[in-house]
């Protein structure tokens, strides 16, 4: 660090010493209180978010009989608020995204960490980080104008399917999954690798039998955060999944039928509902479900990180 | 198959998979540039849309996004940076601190559409701001808090402990030390966090759907309590809600949004790299 910065800093602190100790201590206490309040504000904000969702959305769970909420029909105009098609839609799209993204992400992390030459790694990592920066609406737009027609040409009755959504979501989740998997692999002690190689294992055997099992917890965390990311994504999914609130028949074909997710339902219908109507509060009710699901997943993942699965040692490295 | 052959096969498969991940990213950006550049012109950037948005430019949407991004900065940063200072300098390993950290993790994981619902419930309705720039900026401000707090905390922690020790030993108080020694040295990292947060805010659509975004509003907002057009929502509108929309205009709009967001990310990366290079303590 330059010495200039230190000198000017010293001068200023000497200046501060001219004040009486009493004044300094008093001012200090005020500032420390403000800073502490700012820290606590984060808890307040999360609580406020939940309270406001409850405030607007509670009538859903009070006024609509549970049997109807678990119904198979979402026809708000006729007063039918069955959430099952939306839950199934979100589930299908998310499961599809995870099936695609986790193997791709994990293998890419292995490539970056164990196989790629350093120069290539330096090029690839910023490209993957760039993916995280692309707005979801831009990916949704490309899905809508380019990917969906492509999928239709490949034989599906429509290009707007759960699979189209999964594919886009998978790429949106990839930067997170890759970065956490990389951290997990990085946290595996070098001695493990050296030991395996020393007894004659090939590099692949070392990765498969030693590194991957040791990074297990980190990989689980990557999957969980991938799920949380995918289930909450809105715009891209709304544009490419067809938005049909029906329950596809069980089987591999279900990924290639149009679905409607919880997030897309909120985004598409909130503009048209009357404030305070049952439809309006049901949309907030869906928000409550989304909040609780992501809250549970993220809390669990955070706890796993805390128990030392993927030690994110960035702090020490910087 | 011998072990060596298995190894070679595995490496080949892994390399192909990595290519499957990276090539579409380059393709996506390439396609947007390729199709968006031809219709991009000075008029497109500076004129309001005409003829039901099928002609003319996207100036009100660009301006709206710029305004919202500034508003987000004002709404988010004082609180976020104070929270980062708390976590890095004051928080011990207490139950409260763990709760704050848990809250940040969860805040980062809340789906963007849920932020939209919250903004609608709290800022638009409860505070009575209406669908307005204030409501949108506050919503986006809260959405950016986790990114800014984490990056700023990391930057503050990376200032060497010796700086604090020396300052304290010269008689400076804890806050004086933070104010004059720690924060100036952590500033590049904090700025990186701010810009990353803004990049995220500028590209978000779902949180502004019900809090600020106007479908079509050729005149510019006159106060912060007005609605405004915004680029991400405009792209959604012209690609799905307007029949007969020329494809070039859609691609050019996507390109402008991508350029704004990626250039913010790029600036953040550059600041961070410069900071790392300069750091020789």
pLDDT at A14: 43
Name beta bridge partners: A74.
A81
Residue A101 has pLDDT above 60, yes or no: yes
Mean pLDDT of the region B165-172: 90
Terminal CA-CA length for chain A: 15
Residue A303 has pLDDT above 70, yes or no: yes
Question: Are residues B205 and A49, on separate chains, in Cβ contact within 8 Å?
Answer: no
Cβ atoms B194, B77 nearer than 8 A: yes
Residue A219 to residues A176, A233, B117, Cα–Cα distance (Å): 11, 21, 32
**Residue B146 to residue A304: CA distance in whole angstroms:** 19
- Residues contacting B211, CB < 8 A, separation 6+: B116, B119, B120, B123, B124, B131, B132, B135, B136, B139
Cβ atoms B204, B116 nearer than 8 A: no
**Cα dihedral B72, B233, A288, A310 in deg (nearest 10):** -70
Backbone angles phi, psi at A71, to 5 degrees: -75, 170
Question: Are residues A232 and B112, on separate chains, in Cβ contact within 8 Å?
Answer: yes
Cβ atoms B37, B28 nearer than 8 A: no
Backbone angles phi, psi at A188, to 5 degrees: -70, 125
**Residue A226 to residue A178: CA distance in whole angstroms:** 10
Instruction: Report if residue B20 sits inside a domain.
Output: no
Q: How many CB atoms lie within 10 A of CB B109?
A: 23
Q: How confident is the model at residue A1 (pLDDT cuts 50, 70, 90)?
A: very low
- Residues contacting A170, CB < 8 A, separation 6+: A96, A97, A98, A100, A101, A104, A230
- Residues contacting B32, CB < 8 A, separation 6+: A138, A142, B251, B254, B255, B258
In this structure, of A9-23, A281-295, B53-67, the range with the lowest mean pLDDT score is A9-23
The pTM of the full predicted model, rounded to 2 decimals, is 0.88
Question: Are residues A138 and B108, on separate chains, in Cβ contact within 8 Å?
Answer: no
Mean pLDDT of the region A41-57: 95
Per the structure, the count of domains in chain B is: 1
Question: Are residues A239 and B236, on separate chains, in Cβ contact within 8 Å?
Answer: yes
Question: Are residues B240 and A145, on separate chains, in Cβ contact within 8 Å?
Answer: no
Task: For helices B112-119 and B133-157, give the axis angle rounded to 10 degrees.
Answer: 130
pLDDT tens digits, one per residue of A182-233: 888 888 888 998 999 999 888 889 988 888 888 888 888 888 888 888 899 9
Backbone angles phi, psi at A80, to 5 degrees: -105, 115
Tell me the DSSP string of A266-306: HHHHGGGSPTTSHHHHHHHHHHHHHHHHHHHHHHHHHHHHH
Residue A94 has pLDDT above 70, yes or no: yes
pLDDT at B276: 66
| Chain B contact set for A294 (CB, 8 A) | 106, 109-111, 114
Mean pLDDT of the region A128-146: 92
Task: Using alpha carbons, select from A217, A164, A231 the residue that is nearest to residue A187.
Answer: A217
Q: What ipTM did this prediction achieve?
A: 0.91
* Percent of residues, chain A, with pLDDT higher than 90: 42
Mean pLDDT of the region A287-291: 95
DSSP code, position B87: I
Question: Are residues A13 and B158, on separate chains, in Cβ contact within 8 Å?
Answer: no
Question: Are residues A115 and B6, on separate chains, in Cβ contact within 8 Å?
Answer: no
| Chain A contact set for B87 (CB, 8 A) | 39
Domain of B126, in residue numbers: 40-278
> In chain B, which residue's Cα lies nearest the Cα of A204?
B7
Whichever domain contains B192, its CATH number is 1.10.3720.10
pLDDT tens digits, one per residue of B223-254: 888 889 999 999 999 998 888 888 999 999 99
> In chain A, which residue's Cα lies nearest the Cα of B92?
A36
Cβ atoms B164, B173 nearer than 8 A: no
- Give A 24-63 residues with CB within 8 A of chain B: 24-25, 27-28, 31-32, 34-36, 38-43, 45-46, 48-49, 52-53, 55-56
- Provide Rg for chain B, Cα atoms: 23
**Residue bearing the bigger pLDDT, B217 or A264:** A264
Q: Where exactly are the structural domains of chain A?
A: 1-63, 69-317
CA-angle at A163, arms to A158 and A168, nearest 5°: 110
Compute CA A266 distance to the chain's CA centroid, rounded to the nearest angstrom.
18
**Residue B214 to residue B241: CA distance in whole angstroms:** 13
**Residue A65 to residue A78: CA distance in whole angstroms:** 15
pLDDT at B280: 55
Query: A69-317 is classed in which CATH architecture?
Result: Orthogonal Bundle (1.10)
Name beta bridge partners: B55.
B50
In this structure, of A154-163, A175-184, B177-186, the range with the lowest mean pLDDT score is A154-163
Three-state SS annotation for B112-138? HHHHHHHHHHHHHHHCCCCCCHHHHHH
């Amino acid at each position: 660090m330059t010495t200039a910065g230190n000198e000017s800093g010293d001068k200023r602190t000497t200046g501060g010493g001219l004040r009486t100790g009493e004044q300094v201590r008093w001012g200090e206490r005020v500032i420390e209180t403000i800073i502490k309040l700012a820290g606590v504000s984060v808890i307040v904000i999360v609580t406020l978010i939940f309270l406001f969702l409850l405030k607007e959305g509670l009538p859903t769970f009070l006024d609509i009989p549970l049997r109807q909420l678990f119904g198979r029909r979402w026809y708000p105009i006729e007063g039918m608020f069955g959430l099952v098609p939306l839950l199934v839609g979100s589930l299908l799209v998310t499961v599809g995204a995870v099936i695609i993204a986790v193997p791709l992400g994990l293998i890419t992390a292995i490539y970056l960490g164990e196989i790629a030459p350093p120069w290539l790694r330096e090029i690839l990592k910023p490209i993957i980080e760039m993916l995280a920066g692309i707005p979801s609406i831009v990916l949704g737009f490309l899905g809508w104008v380019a990917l969906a027609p492509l999928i239709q040409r490949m034989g599906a009755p429509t290009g707007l399917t759960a699979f189209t959504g999964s594919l886009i979501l998978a790429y949106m989740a990839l930067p997170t999954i890759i970065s956490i998997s990389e951290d997990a692999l990085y946290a595996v002690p070098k001695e493990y690798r050296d030991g395996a190689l020393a007894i004659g294992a090939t590099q692949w055997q070392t990765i498969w039998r030693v590194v991957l099992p040791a990074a297990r917890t980190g990989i689980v965390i990557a999957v969980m955060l991938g799920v949380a990311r995918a289930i909450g994504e809105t715009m891209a999914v709304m544009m490419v999944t067809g938005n049909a609130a029906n329950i596809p028949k069980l089987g591999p074909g279900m990924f290639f039928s149009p679905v409607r997710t919880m997030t897309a339902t909120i985004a598409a219908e909130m503009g048209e509902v009357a404030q305070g109507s049952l439809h309006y509060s049901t949309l907030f009710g869906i928000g409550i479900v989304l909040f609780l699901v992501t809250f549970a997943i993220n809390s669990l993942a955070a706890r796993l990180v805390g128990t030392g699965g993927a030690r994110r040692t960035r702090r020490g490295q910087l | 198959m011998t072990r060596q052959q298995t190894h070679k096969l595995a490496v080949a498969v892994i390399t192909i998979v990595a290519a499957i991940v990276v090539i579409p990213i380059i393709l996506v950006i390439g396609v947007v540039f390729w199709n968006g550049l031809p219709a991009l012109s000075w008029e497109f950037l500076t004129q309001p849309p005409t003829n039901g948005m099928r002609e003319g430019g996207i100036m009100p949407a660009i301006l709206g996004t710029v305004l919202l991004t500034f508003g987000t900065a004002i709404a988010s940063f004082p609180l976020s940076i104070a929270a980062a200072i708390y976590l890095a300098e004051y928080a011990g390993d207490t139950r409260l601190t763990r709760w704050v950290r848990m809250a940040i993790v969860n805040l980062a994981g809340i789906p963007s559409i849920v932020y939209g619902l919250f903004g609608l419930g709290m800022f638009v309705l409860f505070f009575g701001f209406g669908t307005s720039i204030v409501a949108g900026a506050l919503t986006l401000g809260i959405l950016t808090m986790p990114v800014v707090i984490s990056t700023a905390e990391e930057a503050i922690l990376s200032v060497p402990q010796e700086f604090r020790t020396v300052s304290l030993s010269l008689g400076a108080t804890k806050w004086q030390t933070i104010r004059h020694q720690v924060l100036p040295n952590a500033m590049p990292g904090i700025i990186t966090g701010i810009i990353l947060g803004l990049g995220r805010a500028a590209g978000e659509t779902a949180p502004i759907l019900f809090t600020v975004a106007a479908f079509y509003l050729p005149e510019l907002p006159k106060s912060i309590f007005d609605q405004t057009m915004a680029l991400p929502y405009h792209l959604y509108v012209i690609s799905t809600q307007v029949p007969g929309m020329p494809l070039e205009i859609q691609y050019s709009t996507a390109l402008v949004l991508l350029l704004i967001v990626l250039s913010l990310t790029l600036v953040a990366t550059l600041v961070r790299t410069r900071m790392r290079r300069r750091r020789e303590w």
